[in-house]
């Protein structure tokens, strides 16, 4: 049989990025070994980080994006450190990849694991899982605006941060959400905006949503304002399946979702270029966690689940499901990292998942 080789560009970045990316690659390595030559992952590491930036004056060197583009996928840790302003690091590395590679769909599943306590009372006796679909190319993070626009000077400065919503941008992410809903048991899309207060861009979004919904009569829909949706995440999460929202709203809602599932350290994310003209990028939702960096105690589950999303993108769905099952079996057996009240450090948690993976092979 022929070997299927997938090339992965890994960018550990800052803080706990390195250890959680190593955890995910360890799991992928296990998957490759178990395939007995059918699947192979060819990983190239890129050292772009804030330390690299402070030394070289840039996160991504000239020609760096062209290098990245040669790979089938990008596996990203996190970026952010006390020595560099957060907007410089985020725009210098993460958004410097998602934007030019047109990774316009950001998928963030909210998964409740056995053995993990949720702050939601309902989580014990209700089946909960939903996916936040984030518009990832425009909206509030379009980077449009400026500061001190008419030379008003210190104390009188003016800043504009403009949201950009295009009909095409709205339509493609909304269609994506409907197509995703069709693959799920509960075929429902909840659209989130703040169109009562923001009467241009968000009203355009609402209109596109209503129009696209007509092409999916088999999918249930609702439109909910973002403030109400944040309450709904807590009070009626059983009513959610696919939640589609703008860049900022979905960013906030997905952190809320992962906290409800037990910890930010659990949450997975895929920045997809569904047109497949560019590689997609897979990363845990969390940041570089400077408060626990260097201690080897971070939760690797978010990064490992993100690697499972990468396997899905490669078409390796059976393998992806096995990784998810191995995570469930590990937490279900009571093996938990510190942020979930357990004792396992990053490596111990990863090895527990690898052991489960080997057991279900």
**DSSP-derived pairing of the beta strands 73-78 and 4-13:** parallel
Tokens encoding 275: 């047109």
Name the 3-class secondary structure at 118.
coil
Distance CA 325, CA 157 (A): 53
- Give the 3-state secondary structure of 208-269: HHHHHHCCCCCCEEEEEEHHHHHHHHHHCHHHCCEEEECHHHHHHHHHHHHHHCCCHHHCEE
Residue of 19, 135, 138, 251 interacting with Mg ion (CB under 5 A): 251
Interface with Mg ion includes 313 (CB under 5 A)?
A: no
Distance CA 329, CA 296 (A): 22
Contacts of 220 (CB under 8 A, 6+ apart): 187, 188, 189
Residue of 36, 66, 125, 291 interacting with ligand NAI (CB under 6 A): 291
Stretch that binds ligand NAI, among 35-43, 86-94, 160-168, 202-210 (CB under 6 A): 86-94
Looking at beta carbons only, is 76 or 205 nearer to ligand NAI? 76
In the list ligand NAI, Mg ion, none, the entry touching 286 (Cβ below 5 to 8 angstroms by class) is ligand NAI
Distance CA 166, CA 175 (A): 14
Contact by Cβ (8 Å): 124, 234: no
- Residues 299-338 touching ligand NAI, rule: CB under 6 A, are 299, 302
User: Closest residue to Mg ion, Cβ-based?
Assistant: 251
Binding mask 62-81 for ligand NAI (x = CB under 6 A): ----------------xxx-
Residue of 264, 268, 308, 353 interacting with ligand NAI (CB under 6 A): 264
Torsion angle, CA of 345/264/267/25, rounded to 10 degrees?
-30
Distance CA 104, CA 107 (A): 10
Looking at beta carbons only, is 28 or 132 nearer to Mg ion? 132
CA distances from 126 to 118, 187, 190, 255, 325 (A): 12, 18, 19, 21, 19
Stretch that binds ligand NAI, among 4-12, 221-229, 287-295, 327-335 (CB under 6 A): 287-295
Interface with ligand NAI includes 18 (CB under 6 A)?
A: no
Residue of 169, 237, 287, 342 interacting with ligand NAI (CB under 6 A): 287
Closest approach, Cβ 290 to ligand NAI, in A, equals: 6
Closest approach, Cβ 344 to ligand NAI, in A, equals: 11
Interface with ligand NAI includes 344 (CB under 6 A)?
A: no
Stretch that binds ligand NAI, among 28-36, 102-110, 230-238, 290-298 (CB under 6 A): 290-298
User: How many residues of this chain bind ligand NAI (CB under 6 A)?
Assistant: 22
Residue ranges that bind Mg ion, judged by CB under 5 A: 251
Residues that bind ligand NAI (CB under 6 A): 16, 20, 78-80, 86, 90, 94, 264-265, 283, 286-292, 298-299, 302, 339
């Amino acid at each position: 049989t022929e070997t299927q080789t997938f090339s992965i560009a890994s960018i550990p970045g800052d803080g706990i990025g390195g250890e959680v990316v190593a955890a995910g690659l360890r799991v992928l390595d296990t998957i490759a070994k178990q395939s007995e030559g059918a699947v192979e992952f060819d990983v190239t590491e890129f050292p772009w980080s804030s330390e690299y930036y402070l030394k070289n004056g840039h996160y991504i060197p000239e020609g760096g994006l062209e290098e990245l583009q040669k790979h089938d996928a990008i596996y990203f840790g996190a970026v952010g450190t006390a020595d560099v302003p957060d907007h410089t690091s985020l725009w210098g590395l993460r958004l410097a990849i998602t934007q030019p590679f047109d990774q316009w769909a950001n998928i963030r599943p909210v998964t409740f694991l056995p053995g993990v306590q949720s702050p939601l009372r309902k989580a014990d006796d209700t089946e909960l899982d939903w996916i936040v679909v984030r518009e990832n190319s425009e909206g509030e993070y379009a980077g449009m605006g400026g500061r001190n626009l008419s030379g008003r000077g210190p104390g009188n400065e003016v800043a504009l941060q403009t949201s950009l919503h295009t009909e095409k941008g709205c339509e493609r992410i909304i269609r994506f959400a409907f197509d995703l809903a069709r693959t799920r048991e509960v075929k429902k899309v909840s659209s989130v905006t703040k169109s009562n207060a923001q009467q241009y861009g968000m009203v355009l979004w609402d209109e596109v949503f209503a129009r696209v919904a007509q092409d999916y009569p088999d999918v249930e829909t609702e439109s909910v304002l973002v403030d109400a949706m944040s309450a709904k995440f807590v009070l009626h999460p059983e009513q959610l399946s696919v939640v589609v929202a703008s860049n900022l709203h979905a960013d906030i809602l997905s952190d809320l979702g992962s906290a409800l599932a037990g910890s930010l350290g659990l949450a997975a994310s895929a920045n997809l270029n569904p047109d497949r003209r560019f590689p997609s990028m897979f990363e845990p939702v969390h940041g570089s966690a400077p408060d626990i960096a260097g201690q080897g105690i971070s939760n690797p589950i978010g990064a490992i689940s993100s690697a499972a999303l990468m396997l899905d993108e490669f078409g390796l769905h059976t393998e992806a499901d096995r990784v998810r099952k191995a995570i469930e079996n590990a937490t279900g057996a009571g093996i938990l990292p510190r942020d979930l009240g357990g004792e396992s450090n990053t490596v111990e948690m990863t090895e527990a998942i690898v052991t489960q993976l080997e057991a279900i092979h």
